Amino acid sequence: MPIKDEFPDEQLLHITTPTPWFIDIYNFVAASQFPPEASRLYRERLQNDAKYYIWDDPYPWRLCNDQVIHRCILDVEINSVLQFGHAAPRGSHYGSTRMAKKILDCRFYWSTIFRDAYQFVSTYEKCQKVGMAISRRHEMPQQPILFYKVFDVWGIDFMGPFPVSNGYSYILLAVDYMSRWVEAISTKTNDAKVVVDFLKSNIFCLFGVPNVLISDQGSHFYNRAKSSLLHKYGVLQELDELCLEDYENSRIYKQKVKRFHDQQVLRKEFQVGQKVLLFNSRKLRSGWDGPFVITNIFPYGVVELKDEHTNSTFQ
């Protein structure tokens, strides 16, 4: 029988692994070799740091300030060590400095341990939901609203959905900003047609056409049907001469209040693609929901969020 020197399924595979952070140090410790492109300053620093490292096959070790040797771990092991030191049953969710010292007490080491511990703790989801408290510094910047008479400015919004009762699951609510007069109806849906019918029958016919109608930027409020209605009934109301001075003083005062308020607020800049937590004020629950992904940004601090679990978006 002839001997076959070839294997039909013979393959040569190449395995790629990330280079460990200590590769240059241990090349110098083992063979006194520097990286080919290393500068003079880098070589001097490498030579100075190498005296603290020991190679004890199969692990590298480092002699730290406490005169105890610590095992140097690979980059792929860093996240699991941080997870164990912070969120394990005996991790106790310490702060970054104490967690890093706890890892050192377990005789583990890598060069960026304190920086990685701070990054891990500051971005850990459960700690963010529990440890972050809301104060006045977390408020949004003010947007002054000027009005001088009753029913001049209305705010409108949907509430719900609530448990269905006789087919109704939403409440459409409108509030006058000056008198706090409330108009509300129960609705079966929260679409543009409901908003248009409500404005014509409950606002325009009873109180006249307002100067300003304030709402969030939901699709049921910003659409062609509502724009056509406002254009049809739109009336430019001029201020009486006797009110001009008071109106101007009110505008100046509100600008001063806005400047003072905004100086006390932490300014936040949101970008599309960022992950954020949504504040939840319900009792006996976590103070934050999420994380959600920002998909769109609108004026006056309004953002559109996406739930990655359900792929639903909301504002």
| CATH code (residue 33) | 1.10.340.70
Q: Per the structure, how many domains does the chain have? A: 3
pLDDT value at residue 159:
85
Say if 11 falls within a structural domain. no
Whether residues 32 and 109 share a domain: the answer is yes
Instruction: Verify that 238 and 298 share a domain, yes or no.
Output: no
**Domain assignment of residue 233, yes or no:** yes
Please report, in tens digits, the pLDDT of each residue of the chain (315 residues total). 566 666 566 666 666 677 888 888 878 877 778 888 878 888 888 888 888 888 877 788 888 887 888 888 888 888 888 888 887 776 677 788 888 888 888 888 888 889 988 888 888 877 777 656 676 776 777 777 666 678 888 888 888 888 888 889 899 989 988 888 999 999 988 888 888 888 888 888 888 878 777 777 565 566 666 667 666 665 433 444 445 566 667 777 788 888 887 787 777 778 888 888 777 766 656 667 777 888 887 776 778 888 877 877 777
Residue 16 lies in a domain: no
Q: Return the CATH number at 233.
A: 3.30.420.10
pLDDT of residue 239: 42
- Whether residue 12 is contained in a domain is answered as no
Domain boundary among 226, 244, 262: 244
**Considering the domain boundaries, does residue 142 fall inside one?**
no
The sign one gets for the Cα dihedral 282, 283, 287, 292 is: negative
Domain termination site, one of 244, 267, 298: 244
Which pLDDT belongs to residue 72? 87
The verdict on 221 and 168 lying in the same domain is yes
- In this structure, the answer to whether residues 30 and 117 fall within a common structural domain is yes
- pLDDT at position 253 is 78
Task: With respect to residue 8, please indicate whether it lies within any of the assigned structural domains.
Answer: no
Does the residue 236 lie in any domain?
Answer: yes
Q: Is the CA virtual torsion 272, 276, 282, 285 positive or negative?
A: positive
**In the numeric block, which tokens belong to residue 40?**
């003079």
Do residues 86 and 175 both lie within one domain?
no
279 and 240 housed in the same domain: no
pLDDT score for 262: 79
| Full residue range of the structural domain in which residue 290 is found | 275-314
Task: Give a yes or no: residue 308 inside a domain.
Answer: yes
